[in-house]
Amino acid sequence: MNKTYAALLLVLVFGFGIHAEERNPQVVRAKHGVVVGVSQPGSEAGLKMLQRGGNSVDAAVATALAMAVTVPEAGNIGGGGFMMILPGPGKPPVCIEYRETAPAAATENMFPLNHTRFGHRVVGVPGTLRGLELAHKKYGKLPWKQLVVPAVQLARDGFEIDAFTAKSLNKVLAGSATKRFAEFQRVFGKEDKKPWAKGDRLIQPDLAKTFQLIADQGADAFYRGRIAGWIAEEMQAGGGLITKQDLANYEAKLRRPIKTSYRGYDVFGAALPSSGGTTMGLMLNMLENFELRKQNRWSPATAHIMIEVMRRAYLDRARHLGDADFVKIPEQLYSKQYAQQLAKSIDLNKETRSEYLARDIPLADESPSTTHFSVADSSGMAVSNTYTLEFSYGSRVVVRGAGFLLNNEMGDFNWKRGHTDRKGRIGTKANLIQPGKRMLSSQTPTLVTKDGKFYMATGSPGGRTIINTALGVVLNRLEFGMSLKDAVAAPRLHHQWFPDVARFEDVEEAKFAPLVQQIKARGHQLNDKAYIQGDAHSIGVDEKTGRLIGVADDRRSGFAAGY
């Protein structure tokens, strides 16, 4: 065995529906580089690029493309996302923003509230390949084609699916929402019509053909070439709005990340239209006004303060946030002083009703399709990437003959001006549909530095719970001093303004029963048996040895690879 493979350490973690007390995320420690994500073949594809002399961005691109094959419910070239990059020690992080856009023919009132979230009409203009291309052009080292080859091979030769993917495919194929999509059934159904099982091989020849074009011609094949033609034909056949011109006009953007400081660390989040960076920064700025460590992580006071902070930050998210190229964002949201004012409004003994806080917003009467991965290498470069199709398996539209799924991201806009209700629908102006506009996102890929050097990367899928999942992992490390493994494993708490219910991850009852009782005693409505979607695949630095630590969250499949 040569030295490279002798040094290779791979850890595979599977976790299905276990209680938080039983969670045991696996840890990999490595000197040269680490890739942590939801897919074994995806993480291995990224690791190979590091071993071949590539950097974290090369590994991230290869991982993202491989996961478009191996994680069909979320990995994608038909969606969009955000990539946070720390180029190296002392260099400022950047955000590659590749969120989808509304087609040119989109209108504010194109969807009634009860419109289906599946089909051609809800597809936004995809951004993934332009985003990966931009990251590679600015920071990559290896040739583009080399980064695409693993995806070609995985689609052409197939891969063995894990138990989670088998269960997910069986569920979506049997669902009533998918029955009418013949191409979806053809591409993802088994030839013998039997259910998928762990160890079955999923082969995707049409997708292999698509990726070969991308390998040979770059992202232009998707936005200006043959693939663009296939997408436009699919849209026209199904009543969608995206045209060849929409695809040709799409641009990924290099944006300045949202930066805040917390307890001597610098925390960087994705820029708008990701609401994650702004919302988490606002919450950290509020939390800095309380001495949480003295009260300990699982005290009722800590939980109460966190719920109230989440409630206020998510209200400002609903009130103000959208595509900053279309709407003006109040500067106060990034101010320590404003956060201090919000913190002072918290009653330490009882809850504040969400309805009371939002008197300026009229109230009407009464999915994890995202995936996150982290990469870091020995040069000090790190990547935190989150991308999505919106719902699991997106719009359920597979481009005929091309083998890839399209997103249903138009559902992330506010569909009806003025319709904000207690169930969580939002109708504020900032995120209404406009042609070319990017819909608001909850994606929260996060980088933490200390003295200008990489300290941690994290993020998660999970819809609006994403921001609070990332907040919890960051807070567990920076405020409470947990190990990265324990920070990822810890039970999660979520509140999003409306619905006015706090959610506490399904936990071991005896240990947390007193905490649950005291949270309720302060007036909070609490679901303490909640399933909070998300898998926070994270990387940190061992401060004693300087080695990289990768933690694969075991809330679903997870794979940490390092050498």
Compute the distance between CA of residue 397 and CA of residue 388 in angstroms, rounded to an integer: 15
pLDDT for 20 beyond 90: no
C-alpha torsion 197→66→550→28, nearest 10: 60
Percent share of the chain, pLDDT over 70: 94
The model's confidence at residue 13, banded by pLDDT at 50, 70 and 90, is very low
- The band of 22, judged by pLDDT with boundaries at 50, 70 and 90, is low
Q: Which residue has the tokens 């400002």?
A: 316
- The mean pLDDT value for 33-56 works out to 97
CA 80, CA 473: separation in Å to the nearest integer?
Answer: 24
The two three-digit tokens of residue 535, written as one number: 């898998």
**Residue 364 pLDDT:** 60
Residues 82 and 56: beta-carbon distance below 8 Å: no
Which SS3 state, helix, strand or coil, does residue 281 take?
Answer: helix
Residue 365 has pLDDT above 90, yes or no: no
Q: Is the pLDDT of residue 10 over 50?
A: no
Cα gap 342→469, rounded to integer Å: 21
| Model pLDDT, residue 456 | 98
Residue 214 main-chain phi, psi, to 5 deg: -65, -35
- Residues contacting 394, CB < 8 A, separation 6+: 76, 78, 79, 123, 369, 405, 406, 407, 408
Two tokens at 338?
Answer: 């404003």
Residues, the chain: 563
Q: Which residues are catalytic?
A: 370
Per-residue pLDDT tens digits for 151-204: 999 999 999 999 999 999 999 999 999 999 999 999 999 999 999 999 999 999
Contacts of residue 282, defined as CB under 8 A and 6 or more positions apart, other chains included, come to: 312, 313, 316, 333, 334, 339, 342
pLDDT in tens, 250-292: 999 999 999 999 999 999 999 999 999 999 999 999 999 999 9
For the chain, the average pLDDT equals 92
pLDDT at 508 over 70: no
Residues in a beta bridge with 101: 125, 438
In this predicted structure, what is the pLDDT of residue 26? 83
Q: What is the radius of gyration, based on Cα positions, of the chain?
A: 22
pLDDT digit string (tens) for 341-353?
A: 999 999 999 999 9
Mean predicted confidence (pLDDT) in 548-553: 97
In this predicted model, what pLDDT tens digit does every residue of 300-332 receive, in sequence order?
999 999 999 999 999 999 999 999 999 999 999
Return the ∠ at Cα 184 (arms to 183 and 188), rounded to 5°.
Answer: 120
Answer yes or no: pTM beyond 0.85.
yes
Residue 555 has pLDDT above 70, yes or no: yes
Q: Whole-angstrom Cα distance, residue 115 to residue 447? A: 37
pLDDT of residue 21: 42
- Coil vs helix vs strand at 16: coil
pLDDT digits (tens, 9 = 90+) for 435-480: 999 999 999 999 999 999 999 999 999 989 999 999 999 999 999 9
Nearest Cα residue to 422 out of 481, 349, 354: 354
| pLDDT (tens digit per residue) in 54-98 | 999 999 999 999 999 999 999 999 999 999 999 999 999 999 999
